[in-house]
Structure 1
Amino acid sequence: MTVLPAVLRYGRDMRTASQDDVCEVACVHPEAVARARSTQPDASCVEDATGLLKVVADPTRFRILSALNTGELCVCDLAAVVGISESAVSHQLRLLRAHRLVTFRKEGRIAYYRLLDQHITELISSAVDHVRE
């Protein structure tokens, strides 16, 4: 039986797991394990955080969030920026609102959206900065 190396994808850079990046002997560092375990979020928090990241991971939603990272935009503006219909933008915005990533205000008949808070702004900026490095 042949074991194929695991392939991890980081942007466009493909890396293959090899014998160089695994421990050659079995050992556990109790202090390091205890420190790491003490900072682990509870199961509910992990579930919510991974759900949030799954929502952000969709390319269309990420483009919408990136556009909103520049400031408040109406649904029509977002459709023009992202290149999809207003209906499709509205559908994605409902999902983003449900996950507390965006908020909106109405001015007459126009709905203006913005990122909910600084955490979302930092999340989007950090993701873009990270892949550009």
Structure 2
Amino acid sequence: MSRYSYKDKAKAGEAAGLLRILASGPRLQIVALLLGNKKGVCVFEIAEAVGLSQSATSHQLAKLTSHGIVQCDREGQTMCYKICQCDKAKSLAWVVKGLETN
């Protein structure tokens, strides 16, 4: 059996859920932006870069945060986000970087 098979239904479901996160154009743009900035990016900068309102950007960031892909740091009244240093986020980074090269 190939090492890429998903015998475990739970792991297959988890992988599918992770890919669903990237199934949104704005979330994919946000992840790509954050991958290029290790220190973190503030919400208003993310909104400007991806062409969304701050409210819509915050909504997308909340989804990414709830799935453990990004983490939020408060700097005064400003919220800044960066990619989490976890296996799930590293897997997504690999996918996003692969998409950028094609």
Paired position in structure 1 for 2:35: 69
Please report the RMSD computed on the Cα atoms of aligned residues, expressed in angstroms: 1.9
TM-score w.r.t. length of structure 1 = 0.66
Unaligned runs of 5+ in 1: 1-34
Q: Which amino acid aligns with 1:128?
A: E
Higher helix content, 1 or 2: 2
Q: Give CA-to-partner distance per residue, 1:55-107, whole Å, 9 cap, x none.
A: 11211110111111111210000000001100000000010111111111111
Paired position in structure 2 for 1:121: 93
Paired position in structure 1 for 2:53: 85
Number of residue-to-residue matches in the alignment = 96
- 1:50 is the counterpart of 2:5: no
CA distance in 1: counterparts of 2:18 and 2:4, whole angstroms: 23
Paired position in structure 2 for 1:95: 63
CA distance in 2: counterparts of 1:84 and 1:47, whole angstroms: 30
Shift, 1:37, TM fit: 8.1
Q: Max radius of gyration: which structure?
A: 1
Q: Give CA-to-partner distance per residue, 1:22-76, whole Å, 9 cap, x none.
A: xxxxxxxxxxxxx238953411111111011011121111011111111121000
TM-score w.r.t. length of structure 2 = 0.84
CA distance in 2: counterparts of 1:62 and 1:38, whole angstroms: 23
SS for the counterpart of 1:57 is coil
Report sequence identity in percent. Answer: 29
RCO higher in structure (CA 8 A, sep ≥6): 2
Unaligned runs of 5+ in 2: none
Distance 1:38 1:127, change over 3 A: closer
Distance 1:85 1:43, change over 3 A: same
- 1:106 is the counterpart of 2:74: yes
